[in-house]
Amino acid sequence: MFQKVLIANRGEIALRVLRACKELGIQTVVVHSTADTDAMHVRLADEAVCIGPPPSRDSYLNIHQIVAACEITGADAVHPGYGFLSENAKFADILAAHNITFIGPSGDHIRMMGDKIEAKRTAKRLGIPVVPGSDGAVTEESEARRIAGEIGYPVIIKASAGGGGRGMKVARSEAELEVALATARSEAGAAFGDDAVYIEKYLEKPRHIELQVFGDGAGKGVHFGERDCSLQRRHQKVWEEALSPALNEAERERIGTICANAVAELGYSGAGTIEFLYENGEFYFIEMNTRLQVEHPITEAITGVDLVHEQIRVASGGGLSVTQKDIRFQGHAIECRINAEDPRTFMPSPGTITHFHTPGGLGIRVDSGVYSGYRIPPYYDSLIGKLIVHGRNRVECMMRLRRALDEFVVDGINTTLPLFRDLVGNHDIADGNYDIHWLEKYLAKGE
Ligand code: ADP
């Protein structure tokens, strides 16, 4: 087991990883920018190293400084959290070259899945169902026209290097194709420095369903069931559920087995998420994330397994603590992402939290790095906490969520809490009857 882990992140996830390390008796080092001197994870860590000024590229994305912090403190492993360097293959390779363990998959697996065209090819080879579309990158309009004609409109043009919902353009007819192709390519080039794009069938009313998987790096793979992340705004997840209200046990078993086998065959190590769109009983692979996800706690709630413990175990060579038959699903869990944003316009709302009171009681978990008197710096993403609620079934979970939302107090800034108070009383949400466009339509109506 590791002696000392360096946490290369900030906010709630830095605290989340710190808690796991403490429970495992591992010393903790955190790195932080000058804007985060007062952060909770900095206060609670055994050691803290300031690695630069507020902009992420000068601190949380500064590989050189983070490696130096490892050398100075003698950390033998790094946990990257999510975002920042968590899916940076070069970072994983550099750490390996310094004999520091990256708590995550190999640089090669990160690279493979970071290129969406290659990821899709790999998925197909491993027997994972994919969205119909081009086999690789598409550059010529004539080729785009031919492929779109074959799969049928509407189609979506996506950036191979894409992420965060950027660089995607829908074409509903051949007339729209030329402009969509050109715009997607120039957006991809500007955002990612790589203008490779590919074409997929655009699914009209899918749900977003993702499988939590784990590999031991030595040919074993397991799945921890699915999460339903269909409630999105601008392709960003807002509310997540485990298990999905839309799947039956046979479908879960089928797709879960495919994913666990794929991970095993890849020789994948650590946590991963295989994302699908799901429509009319069919799954369509869209991408694989090679890291811990924001919404991992709902999977922990229904399985009772600490996924960060598991990541650390696997990275240290201790293997998985569970086999597939040990993984059982109990009850239902929902996560609400609480952002420091206006609940209607979603404009960021940084500032000082004058009062912060979290709900409690059976089945309630709040993962947050903020506290009363904390000043939210304006430089980073607006997630200030996650409310995770577990119940014996979905109805109990929703009742408990409504009660927890009533108890939650965040004063001094705007948050998305009022949105969740609306959603929890909505009939479609109560019925689990929503697709990936539901939330945008609901917000557009301004109900
Ligand atoms: P990113 O890596 O930028 O998040 P994804 O490929 O994961 O991109 O897609 C993000 C979201 O975009 C999906 O959750 C879904 O809402 C939408 N999307 C992606 N591909 C399709 C498709 N073929 N049809 C319909 N919607 C899609």
CB 96 within 8 A of CB 165: no
Can you tell me which atom of ligand 1 is nearest the CA of 275? Answer: 7
Residues in the ligand 1 pocket, defined by CB under 6 Å: 131, 156, 162-166, 200-203, 206, 208, 232, 235, 275, 277, 286-287, 436
Q: Whose CA is nearest to atom 11 of ligand 1?
A: 235
* Residue 102: CA count within 13 A, CB half-sphere: 30
What six digits make up the tokens of 171?
A: 């074409």
pLDDT at residue number 162: 86
366-371's contacts with Cβ under 8 Å and 24+ in sequence apart are 367/12, 367/15, 367/16, 367/297, 368/12, 368/15, 368/338, 369/10, 369/11, 369/12, 369/14, 369/15, 369/39, 369/40, 369/41, 370/40, 371/40
193/252 same-domain check: no
Closest CA to 185 of 201, 202, 197, 203: 197
Q: Whose CA is nearest to atom 21 of ligand 1?
A: 202
User: For the chain, how many structural domains are there in total?
Assistant: 3
359/227 same-domain check: yes
SS3 content of the chain, % helix, strand, coil (to 5): 35, 25, 35
- What type of residue is 10? R
pLDDT, tens digit (0-9, with 9 covering 90-100), for 341-358: 999 899 999 999 999 999
Closest CA to 227 of 284, 282, 302, 165: 302
What six digits make up the tokens of 92?
A: 């994983």
ipTM: 0.97
Domain boundary among 103, 120, 150: 103
pLDDT confidence bin for 447, thresholds 50/70/90: low
What six digits make up the tokens of 307?
A: 């996924």
> What range does the domain containing 85 cover?
4-103
213/154 same-domain check: no
Residue 149 has pLDDT above 70, yes or no: yes
Residue 390 has pLDDT above 80, yes or no: yes
Q: Is residue 75 one of the residues assigned to a domain? A: yes
pLDDT at residue number 165: 76
Q: Whose CA is nearest to atom 6 of ligand 1?
A: 286
Mean per-residue pLDDT, 25-47: 97
294/403 same-domain check: yes
279/176 same-domain check: no
Q: Above pLDDT 70, what percent of the chain?
A: 100
CB 436 within 8 A of CB 206: yes
pLDDT, tens digit (0-9, with 9 covering 90-100), for 285-317: 999 999 999 999 999 999 999 999 999 999 999
Question: Which CATH number do you get for residue 75?
Answer: 3.40.50.20
pLDDT confidence bin for 359, thresholds 50/70/90: very high
pLDDT at residue number 164: 77
Mean per-residue pLDDT, 63-73: 98
For the chain, the average pLDDT equals: 96
Cα 444 to chain center, whole Å? 25
250/197 same-domain check: no
Give the residue numbers marked as catalytic.
291
Task: Find the 166 Cα to ligand 1 centroid distance in Å.
Answer: 9
pLDDT confidence bin for 11, thresholds 50/70/90: very high
pLDDT, tens digit (0-9, with 9 covering 90-100), for 402-434: 999 999 999 999 999 999 999 999 999 999 999
pLDDT at residue number 167: 80
Mean per-residue pLDDT, 18-26: 98
Q: Above pLDDT 90, what percent of the chain?
A: 96
